[in-house]
Structure 1
Amino acid sequence: MYRFLLTPRWWGINVFVLLAIPFCVFMGSWQLSRFEARVEDHRSAGAQAAENKREAARPLTELLPVDKATVGRQATASGRYGKQLLVPDRELDGKRGYYVLTLLRTDDGKALPVVRGWLPGDADRAEAPAAPTGEVTITGVLQASEMPGENGVPAQGGLPSGQTAAISAASLVNLVPYDVYDAWVTLNKADSAMKPVPATTPQDTGLDLKAFQNLGYTGEWFVFAGFVVFMWFRLFRREVEFVRDAELGLVPDGAADGGAPQQTGEQPSEGPAQEKANA
């Protein structure tokens, strides 16, 4: 009854099933591991943030370049404030306003972008408080350069002179005549009655949309594996029933070999012997 399993057609079906099921299981397991890794990153980021609050500030040069291990840590730097810029269209406590960004010229000749605080209102008509003069030492949270269009950073262009959309070395190097660190600091205590800007969380370290996409893909791949098994079993049962019907004489012998009985609307023509008998 099961000799049909040795036909070329069923050899192809079986090989496909034997390859498809492990592949679907592997892909589902891989997506699940990605979700678990993001969950672990989320836990580590929470623990890291709590540790950063207790940790003493370290010199800026010891924390560069910025990565997942150093972003959010307390950093300190000394120098003199230079050019000041406004970062418009930034939200804090549900209100729209702007960051006051001042470049801190350090002893090595490079400038560190420092967000001194946030003010409500429109940056186009703003009168931001001037930065302190003379040598200063600042302490704040180290942040990675922003990317326009990501993590709430506006991607607008064509801003007025004295404004920048993103806090990044790539943007600021065109606005100031000196080198800029590929990082920035938000002060723990804002200057001149401004509100301090809270540190942003690092990218890809939380239970965001990407994490739940991984979880959804996990379910999809396991469903695909189950669907392959279901379709194989359905085809197998259908073939067994067809062979059983053929053995009972319910279908023509040709159809039992995998063919299907031909059905037309015309009646078979009578042969010569039948015509003589009718005469």
Structure 2
Amino acid sequence: MYRFLLTPRWWGINVFVLLAIPFCVFMGSWQLSRFEDRMQDQKTAEASVETGRREAARPLAELLPVDKATSGKQATVTGRYDRQLLVPGRELNDRKGYYVLSLLRTDGGKALPVVRGWLPGTPDPAKVPAAPTGEVTVTGVLQASETPGDNGVSAQGGLPAGQTAAISAASLVNLVPYGVYDAWITLTKADSGMTAVPATAPADTGLDLKAFQNLGYTGEWFVFAGFVVFMWFRLLRREIEFVRDAELGLLPDGEEERVAV
């Protein structure tokens, strides 16, 4: 009854199944490992941010460029505050508000974006405390430039003058006539009248959309492996039924040739 498994048609089906199932399992396992890596990265990043709060502040130059190892570390830098911008659409403790972002001109001529604090409501320059004048030394938590449209960062354009959607060197360099560091800091202690903005884990280390995409792909690959097995058994059962019908002489004219093959 099972001699049909040795026909060229079934040889092709069997080879496909034998190759498809391990491939699907491998790809599903790889996607699952990517999801687990992102979970571990999140734990490591959160631990790094927590550790960074307890460590002594280091000069900014020692922590650049920002990466997963230096993001969340305490940085100190000296300069003079220049232009001030507001970053709308930022929530803190489930309240809507905005960041107060000031550009700190350093001795090297470039500016470091400094989030001096958070205020509730809609952006209003009249409510924002003025930045300190003269040379200042600030201490804050180092963060990587944001990517518009990623991790909840707005990609909105056409904002009023004096506002920016993302704290990004690529965006800020178009607003000022000098260079901007590809990093920013949030003050450990906010300036008077504002709330300090907590540091966040670096990009690609949290349970973001990409992480859940990996988890979704894991399920898809395993489901496809199961589907291959299901279809193989279904085809096998149909073939067995066909052979039995042939043995009982229940096949229509011309179908006996298929059994012979």
Question: 1:181: how far off?
Answer: 0.5
CA distance, structure 2, for counterparts of residue 161 and residue 249 of structure 1: 86
Q: Which amino acid aligns with 1:65?
A: P
> Would you say the 8 A contact 1:243–1:256 is kept in 2?
no
Q: Equivalent residues in 2 for 1:71-90 (5 A)?
A: 71-90=71-90
Match of 1:265? none
> Would you say the 8 A contact 2:49–2:199 is kept in 1?
no
Question: 1:125: how far off?
Answer: 5.2
> Would you say the 8 A contact 1:242–1:256 is kept in 2?
no
Match of 1:203? 203
Q: 1:164 to 1:250 in 2, by over 3 A?
A: closer
Q: Say which SS state the counterpart of residue 115 (structure 1) adopts.
A: strand
CA distance, structure 2, for counterparts of residue 150 and residue 126 of structure 1: 30
Question: 1:63: how far off?
Answer: 0.9
- How many residue pairs match? The answer is 260
> Would you say the 8 A contact 1:246–1:252 is kept in 2?
no
Q: Which amino acid aligns with 2:146?
A: E
> Would you say the 8 A contact 1:28–1:218 is kept in 2?
yes
Q: Say which SS state the counterpart of residue 65 (structure 1) adopts.
A: coil
Match of 2:103? 103
Match of 2:49? 49
1:240-263 deviation line (CA, Å, top 9, x unaligned): 333234334444785344269xxx
CA distance, structure 2, for counterparts of residue 151 and residue 21 of structure 1: 35
Q: Say which SS state the counterpart of residue 109 (structure 1) adopts.
A: coil
Q: Which amino acid aligns with 2:32?
A: L
Question: 1:77: how far off?
Answer: 0.5
> Would you say the 8 A contact 1:75–1:141 is kept in 2?
yes
Question: 1:131: how far off?
Answer: 1.4
Match of 1:264? none
Structure ID, larger Rg: 1
> Would you say the 8 A contact 2:76–2:138 is kept in 1?
yes
Q: Which amino acid aligns with 2:111?
A: A
Gaps (5+ residues) in structure 2?
none
CA distance, structure 2, for counterparts of residue 96 and residue 237 of structure 1: 61
Q: Say which SS state the counterpart of residue 85 (structure 1) adopts.
A: strand
The alignment status of 1:133 with 2:133, answered yes or no, reads: yes
Match of 2:239? 239
> Would you say the 8 A contact 1:97–1:120 is kept in 2?
yes
- Structure 1 length-normalised TM: 0.84
Percent of aligned positions with the same letter in both sequences?
80
1:212-268 deviation line (CA, Å, top 9, x unaligned): 3322322221222122122212222332333234334444785344269xxxxxxxx
Gaps (5+ residues) in structure 1?
261-279
> Would you say the 8 A contact 2:113–2:184 is kept in 1?
yes
The alignment status of 1:175 with 2:160, answered yes or no, reads: no
Q: Equivalent residues in 2 for 1:180-191 (5 A)?
A: 180-191=180-191
RMSD: 2.2
Question: 1:196: how far off?
Answer: 0.9
CA distance, structure 1, for counterparts of residue 98 and residue 208 of structure 2: 26
